Structure 1
């Protein structure tokens, strides 16, 4: 017997207008994956009002691939090629800025290594009458249900890896994190918390951005499958969870960017040195485990230590300023 999934009620006065949404995609040297994502957008129903492609200075044929979808996409296509690679963090910061300045009410963020389920936008739209920071679910590359760590242990600043995966009849769960592979956020929240911080370059940026959003509004993950990953990643299967492979660049920023989180925590008045230090130690230990069991090497630890050293400089920077709130759009 098939049990119908719960659906939120939504009055006509708050009905979701797909044209009010923008999909913002960040890409870098992965034109084949980007093409697959754009193909999935071509067959979406309904479609968003615009699709924004932020190209992190790709050196492949990304620009020509985007141009080839200009008339096929069936909605406005906005292409921004950055002068240099600013990492995922810089790309998503530019994507949110572009969508905000163009007047989009809803901004749906995603990497280039996913495809959109054809009715994904409609599924997300069902929840917009109740929430302004929403995360949908996604399928993994092999078609399995991808588990995303939607809760963080706030004072330690790390994900809770075994937060319950199931949903009750409400169809949603409160979250205090975020993931740029599917974050669906309203411009009102963006206006209050500012743009994603490009200084992260990669890693922790979306968790922090989602955490900031959860301090302004009720943020939720909903029981709606809206994306599918299109790239296989080497993993270590731990039974109930898995751990992905990484890289030396990631290892550096994983540890370095703990200091950026610390600065934000200080600004929010939630920084507790001992607990945050435990979170940093656990992060370091997790990366050692990743090296041993996923990548089966001990090489790479120097990048963890280098990240910690660079982070100490950021921690001591008393001139650090968080991303500022945005100016509200002027009425026309």
Structure 2
């Protein structure tokens, strides 16, 4: 599974940009989406397709997308969902659309980023060696954004101080994933299935990246390919930052721990004690975020509510993971799980 560690400069020509599809998910942020679409129009080379999944926006998102249809310079596929399915549902629908288009590579991103003009070339350099790849991002202020690319797998939580530096190989192995920049091959998607819409938001990309890392060598590469376009309130910890959150996020952060537990159970990876420690650490982190970043204690009820609602998910013995795309006979997960 592991490849020799060398920079892939000699394999640039092997990547065909037309086989890649950018999948962007948006919800009521047409201004940010317009910036993303503008940056895609300035890419060289461009992907074969751009898929925009609209989570039932009530603003002028449809009009904005249609205005870019002629000027973006590649085929634009727009799907407006009937209800807001969260980022999880949006990326699940987007990846299904890209897969059905025959895309070899799917590049996932939120609407609050811009693509660096040569970003696809940078990602393509690694495509002959790896099939689950994460590029790097600039933050809103132009600084280097640190993403927690390693998780303490048994605990199911990120390792916040995993080394940020790269050696001469230009990559580091990861066991996680982030839908803000994940670049993944259709063969991996075929084997592990689509992202799970039941998460709605939070932990979905970590679990998806972890599943991918179990069947392929997943890497984060020393290539800056995206730039954040939305400023988020942060607490500067010196070497890392902690972002502000919301009541909705707090609820799903705790509720979805039970979905992680179910995925762990489905592959025989779950161990009660370390996972419980990971849940306790997550709860403590969210309390710190409330007090230090948002300077309030209001919102703790959403953490407890998430834990409570997660119990029903954890107790559901009929729960099933998302099925592989090459096994049409597999039962699909129950909507109420």
* TM-score, normalised with respect to structure 2: 0.94
Aligned to 1:47, what secondary structure does the other structure show? coil
* Contiguous gaps of at least 5 residues in structure 1: 1-5
The residue number in structure 1 matching 2:279 is: 280
Aligned to 1:8: 8
The answer to whether the aligner puts 1:67 opposite 2:66 as a matched pair is yes
Identify unmatched segments of 5+ residues in structure 2: 1-5, 329-337
CA offsets 1:223-254 (integer angstroms, 9 cap, x no match): 00000000000001111111000000000000
Aligned to 2:31: 32
Q: Is the 8 A contact 2:7 2:168 kept in 1?
A: no
Q: CA deviation at 1:327?
A: 2.7
Displacement over 2 Å in runs of 4+? 9-12
1:56·1:82 contact (CA, 8 Å) conserved in 2? yes
- What CA distance in whole angstroms lies between the structure 2 residues aligned with 1:170 and 1:88? 33
- CA–CA distance in 1 between the matches of 2:297 and 2:271? 32
Counterpart in 2 of 1:48? 47
Report the CA distance shift for 1:157/1:82 in structure 2 as closer, same or farther (over 3 A): same
Whether the aligned pair in 2 keeps the contact of 1:175 and 1:221 (CA below 8 Å) is: yes
Q: Secondary structure at the match of 2:144?
A: coil
Alpha-carbon distance in 2 for matches of 1:218, 1:96: 20
Alpha-carbon shift at residue 10 of structure 1 (Å): 4.5
1:268 Cα offset (Å): 1.1
Q: CA RMSD in A?
A: 1.2
SS in 1 for 2:235: strand
Looking at structure 2, the residues matched to 216 and 199 of structure 1 have their Cα atoms a distance apart, in angstroms, of 23
Q: Give the match for residue 147 of structure 1.
A: 146
Change (3 A) 1:11 1:48: same
Tell me the SS of whatever aligns to 1:37.
helix
Aligned residue pairs, count: 323
**What's the offset of the Cα at 1:291?**
0.3
Q: Who is 2:21 aligned against?
A: 22
Q: CA deviation at 1:7?
A: 3.7
Alignment partner, residue 296 of structure 1: 295
Displacement of 1:177 in angstroms is 0.2
TM-score, normalised by the number of residues in structure 1: 0.96
Superposed, which structure 2 residues align to 1:86-235 within 5 Å? 86-235=85-234
The residue that corresponds to 1:3 in the other structure is none
SS at 1:124 equivalent: helix
State the alpha-carbon separation in 2 of the partners of residues 44 and 182 from structure 1. 15
8 Å Cα contact 2:11-2:125 kept in structure 1: no
1: distance between equivalents of 2:11 and 2:213? 24
The answer to whether the 8 A contact 1:26-1:112 is kept is yes
Distance in 2 between residues matched to 1:306 and 1:70, nearest whole Å: 43
Q: Secondary structure at the match of 1:22?
A: strand
Contact 1:10 1:129 in 2 (8 A): no
